[in-house]
Structure 1
Amino acid sequence: MSTLKQGLLLDPQITQKVFSGIERGPLNKVNAVVIHQTGANTAQQTFNSYTKGGHGAHFLIDKQGIIYQTARVSQKAYHVGKIKSKCYETKSCTKVQLQNATQLLFQKGLSYSSRISNLHNHEKVKPYPDRFPLNLDSLGIEIVGSYNKVKKQYETISPLQNSSFKWLINELYTHFNITSADVYRHPEVSYKMPTEASSATW
């Protein structure tokens, strides 16, 4: 079993490659994990973007199944984006919740981005798990895989990648009070292409 020390998940199966530029302040509570795909062909392409700072995730799994830790799990990373309404997406809203969500989503006279921002601001004040995970309470895992713009399809995750992903998720279960119900594909929680991480299993 891996050990957790100063935000680093230490195990022979994890290669440490932390980019301090994508760390965005203390992550005090881990409620969930969000799975992403890079949209790039190689891990190096993602590492190149991480050196510039900005958005990033805590772990990256390359095409050979090698797991890299790219940010400490004690630090926030910008990987989620604006969140959707969880009760609206899962069809579990009360009458009042549904009224609030639809009013924000379809408010006339506002741009799409403004409506999405308003809904995000409405959702983010809710406690988890009443809302989807945010940057402030989740870990991000990137899986290397290209994106076909014509087909609007992400590359299928390989068996090696998925095996490493399952191992990593199980390690995170042991270190944080999370279960499989707290693992989300990026398009579930935010406004991303539906096929991102669709072939990941856990």
Structure 2
Amino acid sequence: MSTLKQGLLLDPKVTQKVFSGIERGALNKVNALVIHQTGANTAQQTFNSYAKGGHGAHFLIDKKGAIYQTARVTQKAYHVGKIKSKCYETKSCTKLQLQSAIQLLFQKGVPYSSRVSSLHRHEKAKPYPDRFPLNSDSLGIEIVGSYDTLKKQYEAISPLQNSSLKWLINELYTHFNITSADVYRHPEVSYKMASEASSATW
């Protein structure tokens, strides 16, 4: 079994390749995992992006299934984006919650980006799991896979990648108080292409 030391997941299956530029301050609580795809053909393309700072995730799985830790699990990374309304998306809102979500989502005369931002701020104030995970309480796992702009489709995740993903998720279960109910595909929680990580299983 892996061990956690100073934010690093220590195991022969994990290669440490931490990019301090994507670490964004203390991550005090891990409530969830968010599964992403890079939209790039190679791990190196993602590493080059991470080296510049900005957005990033805590782990990356390359096409051969190799696992890299790219940020410490004690540090926030910008990987989620603006979150959707969980109760609206899962059809579990109370009448009052539904009214609030609809009012924010469909304000007339307000640009779409402003409506999304307003909803995000509204949701952010809720405790987890009443809302989707945020950068401030989740870990991001990137899987290398290209995006076909014509077909609007992400590349299918390979069996090697999926095997590594399952192993990594199970290891993180042992270190944090999370279950399969706390693992999300990126498009579930934020405004991303629906096919991102759609072929991943755990």
Normalized against structure 2, the TM-score is what?
1.00
Alpha-carbon distance in structure 1 between the residues aligned to 2:151 and 2:92: 32
Structure 1 alignment gaps of length 5 or more: none
Aligned length: 202
d(CA) in 2 for partners of 1:146 and 1:69?
20
Partner in structure 1 of residue 100 of structure 2: 100
Equivalent position SS for 1:147? strand
Once residues 71 and 170 of structure 1 are traced to their aligned partners in structure 2, the CA distance between those partners, rounded to angstroms, is: 18
- Supply the distance in 1 between the matched residues of 2:180 and 2:149 (Cα, whole angstroms): 30
The aligned counterpart of 1:35 is 35
Counterpart of 1:5 in structure 2 is 5
Counterpart in 1 of 2:194?
A: 194
Residue 109 of structure 1 deviates from its aligned partner by 1.5
The residue number in structure 2 matching 1:129 is 129
Mapping 1:14-163, distance limit 5 Å: 14-163=14-163
Query: Hey, what's the Cα distance between the residues in 1 that align with 2:156 and 2:65?
Result: 13
Give the whole-Å Cα distance in 2 for the aligned partners of 1:105 and 1:163.
38
Q: d(CA) in 1 for partners of 2:58 and 2:48?
A: 15
- C-alpha distance in structure 2 between counterparts of 1:34 and 1:133, whole Å: 8
Deviations 1:95-128 (A, max 9, x none): 0000000000000121000000000000001000
Structure 1 residue 194: Cα displacement: 0.1
**CA distances 1:110-161 after superposition (whole Å, capped 9, x unpaired):** 1000000000000001000000000000000000000001101000000000
How does the TM-score come out when normalised to structure 1? Answer: 1.00
CA distance in 2, matches of 1:60, 1:80: 15
User: Which whole-Å CA distance do the structure 2 matches of 1:24 and 1:95 have between them?
Assistant: 37
Where 1:38 maps in the other structure, the secondary structure is: strand
Partner AA of 2:191 in structure 1: Y
Q: Find the residue that maps to 1:108 and give its secondary structure.
A: coil
- Output the aligned Cα RMSD: 0.2
**Local SS of the residue matching 1:109:** coil
Counterpart code for 1:15: T
Query: What secondary structure sits across from 1:57 in the alignment?
Result: coil
What are the superposed Cα offsets for residues 139-193 of structure 1, whole Å, 9 maximum, x if unpaired? Answer: 0000000000110100000000000000000000000000000000000000000
SS at match of 1:49: helix
Provide Cα deviations, 1:23-56, integer angstroms capped at 9, x if missing partner.
0000000000000000000000000000000000
- Whole-angstrom CA distance in 2 between matches of 1:38 and 1:112: 25
Counterpart residue number, 2:177: 177
| Aligned-partner SS, 1:68 | strand
- Aligned partners of 1:51 and 1:45: how far apart in 2? 10
